[in-house]
Chain A
Amino acid sequence: MLDNLHSSDGRSENGREQTGRDQNAAPLSDREVPLGRRRTPAAVHAWLDGELPETEVRLGDTKRDVEFWSRIAEQSETRRQMRTPAHLQAQIMAALPQAAPAADVTPWYSRSIELAPVVAILGGAALVAAGAAIGAAVAR
C-alpha cells in the first residue's frame, strides 16, 4: 500500500474517504512506481522462446535478465526430471472397474465431426447453389 502524503489524509474535501478508483484516476506521472519494476525486454522473451541465441542477450542491460531466467531454468530442469510415484500406476489399476468401458452411447447427431476447410467451403457453395435452383424453380 502506498502512503498518502496529502494533507487531506486520504479524504476528499467533503471529508469522505477516497476510494482506490479515485486514487488510480490520478495522472500516470503522479503515481508512485516501485523501484525495480520493469518490463522483461522483448529480446529476453525471444531468447526464452528459442528465437535468439544466448550470446546475443547476455550483454548490456539484458545480462541481469539472462542470469535471472537461467536460475529459473535450472529449477525447471530439476522438475522436468520428476517421475510419477512408483505406487500410483498400481493404485489406479486397482481403482478401475472390472467391467470393460461402456461403448460410446453418444447419438450420431451429437457427435463432433472433423471437416477440412475446403470441404466446408464446397459444401456451403453446393447448398447455396441448390437453394438458388429450388428458388428459381418455385418462382417459375
Chain B
Amino acid sequence: MEADQQTIQRVLAGDREAFSGLIGRYSDPLYRHALGMTGSPDVAEDILQLSFIKAYHHLAEVRGRFDAWVFRIVANGCKDWLKNIRRTHLSYDEDDQPSGYANPDEELDRSELRTDLDRALATLQPSLREAFVMKHVEGRSYEEMADFLGTTVGALKMRVHRAREALQVLLEEKYA
C-alpha cells in the first residue's frame, strides 16, 4: 500500500484521483465515529463529505500522520454538530446492514437495546460520548485515542469510566 505521504504528494502535484485512495483507506473508521457521535447515518455522511472536502483544500498543511489529522477534522465536525443541534432522541436505521439474528424476536430485542443505547449516549457530554464511542464502538486502544485526541491516557480512562457509569445508571434497570 502506498504510504499516505506519497499519496498526498501526488494529489498536491495535481493527481486529483489519488485522493480517492485516502478516502477509501480511512472512510470506514471515520464514518463509524461520526455515526456513533451523531446517531444519524445522514448526518454522518454529511460530516464525512464536508471533512474530506476540507481535508482536500488544506492537504498541503498536513504535518505528521494523515489519519490523525483527518480524524480531528471529523471529530470537530461532530462536536460542532452536537453544539448546534440538541436532540433527545437519536435512532438510526440500519436496514441496509445485514441481519445476523436467529429470529425476529431476538432482532426486535437487539433493536430496542440499540435505540436505548443511542438515547443514553445522546445524554452524555460530547467529550464523554467521544471517549466511549472510540473505546467501545471503534475498539481503539487508549494509546491510539490519546494520540488522536492529543490528551493523556489517564484523562481518557477517566472519561470512559464516567461514560460507563452514566450509561449503566441509565440502562441497568432494563437490561441488567
Chain A positions within 8 Å of B, measured between CB atoms, are 36-37, 39-40, 45, 48-49, 64-65, 67-69, 71-76, 78-85, 88-89, 91-93, 95-98, 100-104, 106, 112, 114
Given A40-B164, A65-B168, A80–B60 Cβ distance below 8 Å? no
Residues of A within 8 A of B63 (CB): 112, 114
User: B117 to A85, Cβ gap below 8 A?
Assistant: no
What string of 1s and 0s marks CB contacts (under 8 Å) between B151-176 and chain A?
00000010011001101110111011
| Interface pairs (26), CB distance under 8 Å | A37-B169, A40-B161, A48-B164, A49-B142, A49-B160, A67-B176, A75-B114, A79-B32, A79-B35, A84-B48, A85-B31, A85-B41, A85-B96, A88-B48, A92-B49, A92-B53, A93-B23, A95-B49, A96-B19, A96-B52, A97-B56, A100-B12, A101-B60, A102-B57, A102-B60, A104-B61
Verify B16–A80 contact, CB threshold 8 A.
Answer: no
Q: Is the interface of B mostly helix, strand, loop or mixed?
A: helix
Q: How many of chain B's residues have a CB under 8 angstroms from any CB in A? A: 57
Report chain A residues within 8 Å CB of B4: none
In-complex Cβ contact of A96 among B16, B24, B176 (8 A): B16
Residue of A nearest to B62 (CB): A104
Query: If the complex has contacts A92-B48, A101-B58, are A73 and B136 also in contact, measured as CB distance less than 8 A?
Result: yes
**B45:A88 contact, CB within 8 angstroms:** yes
Task: Encode B35-68 as 1/0 by CB contact (under 8 A) with A.
Answer: 1100001000100110011001111110110000
